[in-house]
Amino acid sequence: MHDPLLKDQLGAAPTLTAPALTAAAQAFQTRRLADAVWSEMQVRGIVPSPRNFTLWFTYRSGSDPRLNRRMAELIGRAQPIAPALLDALYQDCLASGEDLTGASIDAAAEIEAAARTLIEQLSGSETALAGYGDALVTAQRDLRSDRGRDDLLRAVAVLATETARAAERNRLLQQQLASSASRVGRMRQALAAMKAEATHDALTGIANRRAFDTRLRHAIRQRSSQPQALTVLLVDIDHFKAFNDAHGHRTGDLVLRLVARVLASNVKGRDCAARYGGEEFAVLLAGADLEAGGVVARQICQELSSKRLVEGAAQGALRITVSIGVAQYGAPETPTALIQRADAAMYEAKQLGRNQVCLAPPPAVGRSPSSPTGQVRSNPDGPAAAAPAPSSETGGPPP
C-alpha cells in the first residue's frame, strides 16, 4: 500500500546529484580522518598546535610521500617525538615562509614611518612657503604704495629677511628629504633581502621548496597559453643519514652545498634547482621532455659520482652519489601528482641499487591499458634497462 502523504513528502525532497553525493562523502572522510588524527595525537602526547595538527593530518592523508617516509622513521624509533623534531619536519616539508611575517611587518612599519615623515616635512614646507608668499604680497603692496624712503627701506629689509628664512628652510628640507630617502633605500634593501630569504635555502643558496612549488605551479599554468614540455627531477643523496652520523653535520653541510652547486650548474634560463627538504633536491626543466630530463639527470649523477670530498687525511676522500627520479608533466595532472610520480621513480632508483636514474611512466589519465607501465632506469656507469613500475608503498626508500 502506498501512502499518498509519504509520496508527496518524498516528491518534495531535494534531488541529490552525483557531485553533491561526492562532496558529502569527501566531507565525511575528511571529518573522520581529522577525528582519527586528533585521537592519535592525544595518545602519542603530541602538543595539539595548529602546526602539529597540519603535519599529522598531512601525514595520515598520505598526500606527501616525503613527509610520510620521515614521519614513519620518527614513529619507528618507539620513543616520544620531541617537539623540536616536529618543528624541523614542518619547516622542511610544509613551511611556506610564514616565519618571515613578523620581519615583513617590521619592515613595512619602517617604510610607513619614513613615508609619514616625508609627508610631514612636505606639509611643513608648504606652510612655510605659504607664509613666504604672504610676505611677498605684503612687500609688493608696500613697494607700490606712495610711501616715503624709510618705509620702502623697511619693506626691502622685511623682504630680504623672509627670503633668507625661506632659503634656510629649503636647505633644511633638502637635508631631511635626503635622510628620508636614505632611510627608504635601506628599507627597500631589507625587503629585498627578506624576499631572497623567503625564496632561497640559507645553507645552499639555491631556491627553497616554497620557491620551487611556486615556479612549478606557474609553469603548469603557462602551458595553457604556451604549450611546452615540462619535466621534474627529484634528487636524493644516497646514504646521507649514515654519512652524516659517521662524519658529522659540518661535513654533511659540505655535501649538501656540493650537490646544490652541481644542480645549479646543470640548469639554465627558466629552469629551477631547489633544496626540497633535508637531503632531497628538486629540479624543474622548462621545455624539456622525459628523454631530455633523463640526459640531464644522468649528467648530474655522473658529475657527482666523479667528485671526491676530502674530509681528512685519516678518512681520505669521500664519494658522493645520488638517486634521481624523472617525471614529465602530463595534463591535466596536478603539481602534487607530478611530484609524486617523480618521487616514486626516485624510490625505484634507490631500490635498484642507488647512484642511478629512473624515468617515471606517464600519468594514468589518458593512458590506454596496452601502454607500457614500466620505467626506464639507467646507471651512469652502464646502459639503460627496463624496470618495473614504482612501488605504491608509502614507507621510506633506502636512505
DSSP for 243-259 reads HHHHH-HHHHHHHHHHH
- Residue 358: closest CA among 232, 257, 242, 271: 232
Pairwise CA distance, residues 32 & 61, whole Å: 11
* Sequential DSSP letters for 187-226: HHHHHHHHHHHHHB-TTT-SB-HHHHHHHHHHHHHHTTTS
The arithmetic mean of pLDDT across residues 86-108, rounded, is 61
The arithmetic mean of pLDDT across residues 50-55, rounded, is 81
Instruction: Please tell me which of 56-65, 67-76, 117-126, 204-213 the model is most confident about, judged by mean pLDDT.
Output: 204-213
The arithmetic mean of pLDDT across residues 58-63, rounded, is 84
What is the reported pLDDT for 101?
47
Residue type, 258: L
Q: Say if residue 118's pLDDT is above 70.
A: no
What is the reported pLDDT for 378?
59
- Check: CB of residue 266 under 8 Å from CB of residue 292: no
What is the reported pLDDT for 311?
62
What is the reported pLDDT for 295?
97
Pairwise CA distance, residues 258 & 240, whole Å: 13
Buried b (16+ CB within 10 A) or exposed e, 278-299: bbbbbbbbbebebeebbebbbe
Q: What is the set of active-site residues?
A: 279
What is the reported pLDDT for 226?
80
User: φ and ψ at 257, to 5 degrees?
Assistant: -65, -40
**What are the residues whose beta carbons fall under 8 Å from the beta carbon of 104, sequence distance 6 or more?**
191, 194
Asked, as a colleague might, if the bond just before 14 is cis with ω within 30 of 0, I would say: no
Q: Say if residue 20's pLDDT is above 70.
A: no
Pairwise CA distance, residues 233 & 184, whole Å: 41
Q: What 8-state DSSP symbol labels residue 384?
A: E
What is the reported pLDDT for 141?
61
pLDDT band at 19, cuts 50/70/90?
Answer: low
What is the reported pLDDT for 161?
76
What is the reported pLDDT for 376?
57
What is the reported pLDDT for 9?
43
Q: Say if residue 93's pLDDT is above 90.
A: no
- For the chain, the straight-line distance linking the first and the last C-alpha, in angstroms and rounded, comes to 69
Mean pLDDT (the chain, rounded): 75
Query: What confidence tens digit (pLDDT) does each residue in 358-399 have?
Result: 999 999 754 433 333 445 555 655 444 334 344 333 334 445
Pairwise CA distance, residues 243 & 256, whole Å: 12
Instruction: Please tell me which of 83-97, 186-200, 333-347 the model is most confident about, judged by mean pLDDT.
Output: 333-347
Q: What 8-state DSSP symbol labels residue 145?
A: S
What is the reported pLDDT for 299?
97
Residue type, 79: Q
Q: Say if residue 200's pLDDT is above 60.
A: yes
Q: Give 292 or 225, the one with higher predicted confidence.
A: 292
% of the chain at pLDDT higher than 70: 61
- Check: CB of residue 49 under 8 Å from CB of residue 25: no
Q: Say if residue 98's pLDDT is above 60.
A: no
pLDDT band at 41, cuts 50/70/90?
Answer: confident
Query: What confidence tens digit (pLDDT) does each residue in 202-224 have?
Result: 899 999 999 999 999 999 988 87
Count the Cβ atoms, other than its own, within 10 Å of residue 8. Answer: 9
What is the reported pLDDT for 43?
86
* Sequential DSSP letters for 59-122: HHHT--HHHHHHHHHHHTT-SPPPHHHHHHHHHHHT--SGGGHHHHHHHHHHHHHHHHHHHHHH
Query: What confidence tens digit (pLDDT) does each residue in 248-305 have?
Result: 889 899 999 999 999 999 998 889 999 998 899 999 999 999 999 999 999 999 999 9
Pairwise CA distance, residues 219 & 211, whole Å: 12
**What are the residues whose beta carbons fall under 8 Å from the beta carbon of 256, sequence distance 6 or more?**
203, 204, 237, 275, 279
Pairwise CA distance, residues 98 & 168, whole Å: 47
Low-confidence winner among 91-95, 127-131, 260-264 (lowest mean pLDDT): 127-131
